[in-house]
Amino acid sequence: MTDPGNTRPLEDGIVTDFSKKMNYGGYLALDELLSLQRPVSVPEHHDELLFIIQHQTSELWIKLMLHELRSARQAFRDDDIGTALKRIARVKHIQETLTKQWSVLATLTPTEYSEFRDFLANSSGFQSFQYRALEFILGNKNAKILSVFASDPVSQGILQELLDEPTLYDEFLRYLARLGFAIPQEVLDRDLTKAWTFTAELVPVFREIYESAGDNWRLYEACEELVDLEDNFQFWRFRHLRTVRRTIGFKTGTGGSSGVDFLQRALDLTFFPELYAVRTEIGT
């Protein structure tokens, strides 16, 4: 056999004529996608491309998370817990990817960032409508935040819709109510535009599910999936906080907040407090 010189020979079947067929770049709209990284620093700072790509990839993954979470919410509505669990499992993997991805941005030193930070003006992740949509569908609703999107009616409209609709947790609890669990009427009739708050009457419901896991395996699994989802969300928030801490210290944020202190307070927020509270009761 002739030595191919560390080169893989192409096979005869490999398609090379795309004049009349869809190819990779066409399918993925790569022309557009790869022309969307537009640094604003002058002269262009080497590290701004990292900063943009870290954010754009995050937004793409968040887009998929929202797609999956909307579908999971619909699945609970349709009494289809199998599909809901499948969707949430995927979301958990995306969260892990997003949390791990912080290590790439952490290679940006404070000096490098300070060299192009001023060019970002008042733009900030706080204005990410997809991130806010994620918080809303998971239960951390806050009508006041809609004002940030006044200049972007399409995003504001999507957020208003999510604000008015049941969250993933609302649909899970309604599903439990349909199965005969003692979900208080006030929970089912709650003001959906408000953030979820701890409801003690739900703890015994979850205790019943945990203590009858053998008979209620899917429900037990769903509870644990939701806990994973919240834990993973907190891990992302924490990595963001630590990255901000090491990059800008205690400077105020470009979005106008106090910065690290403001982000620290997000770590006190919780989506499914009763699923954490039940842990204190288990085995006692």
Ligand X SMILES: N[C@@H](CC(=O)c1ccccc1NC=O)C(=O)O
For ligand X, the binding residues (CB under 6 A) are: 55, 117, 120, 123-125, 248, 253-255
220 binds ligand HEM (CB under 6 A): no
What is the C-alpha separation between 63 and 160, in angstroms, rounded? 17
Q: Is 220 annotated as a binding residue?
A: no
Give Cα 99 to chain centroid, integer Å: 10
Would you call 189 helix, strand, or coil by DSSP? coil
Of 74 and 257, which CB lies nearer to ligand HEM in the complex structure?
257
Q: Is 240 annotated as a binding residue?
A: yes
255 binds ligand HEM (CB under 6 A): yes
**Cβ 151 to ligand X, closest distance in Å?**
15
Question: How many helices, marked H, and strands, marked E, lie in the chain?
Answer: 14, 0
Residue nearest to ligand X (CB): 125
270 binds ligand HEM (CB under 6 A): no
Q: How far is CA 107 from CA 234, 243, 258, 273, in A?
A: 22, 10, 24, 35
**Cβ 98 to ligand HEM, closest distance in Å?**
8
The DSSP 8-state label assigned to residue 62 in this structure reads H
Q: How far is CA 144 from CA 132, 140, 163, 199, 272, in A?
A: 12, 12, 11, 23, 22
125 binds ligand HEM (CB under 6 A): yes
What is the C-alpha separation between 136 and 170, in angstroms, rounded? 12
C-beta neighbour count of 13 within 10 angstroms = 5
The DSSP 8-state label assigned to residue 257 in this structure reads S
Of 68 and 135, which CB lies nearer to ligand HEM in the complex structure?
135
What is the C-alpha separation between 73 and 257, in angstroms, rounded? 32
What is the C-alpha separation between 42 and 65, in angstroms, rounded? 35
105 binds ligand HEM (CB under 6 A): yes
Of 48 and 274, which CB lies nearer to ligand X in the complex structure?
48
Would you call 104 helix, strand, or coil by DSSP? helix
Q: Is 45 annotated as a binding residue?
A: no
266 binds ligand HEM (CB under 6 A): yes
Pick one of ligand X, ligand HEM, none as the site partner of residue 262 (Cβ within 5 to 8 A by kind): ligand HEM
Residue 98 contacts residue 128 (beta carbons within 8 Å): no
The DSSP 8-state label assigned to residue 199 in this structure reads -
Q: Is 52 annotated as a binding residue?
A: yes
155 binds ligand HEM (CB under 6 A): no
Site string for ligand HEM, 38-67 (x = CB under 6 A): ----------------xx--x---------
Q: Is 158 annotated as a binding residue?
A: no
Of 155 and 254, which CB lies nearer to ligand X in the complex structure?
254
What is the C-alpha separation between 210 and 216, in angstroms, rounded? 8
136 binds ligand HEM (CB under 6 A): no
Using CB under 6 A, which of 128, 142, 193, 199 touches ligand HEM?
Answer: 128
Of 55 and 77, which CB lies nearer to ligand X in the complex structure?
55
Chain contacts with ligand HEM (rule: CB under 6 A)? 54-55, 58, 105, 108, 113, 124-126, 128, 131, 240, 243-244, 247-248, 253-257, 259, 262-263, 266
Binding-site residues sit at 51-55, 113, 117, 240, 254
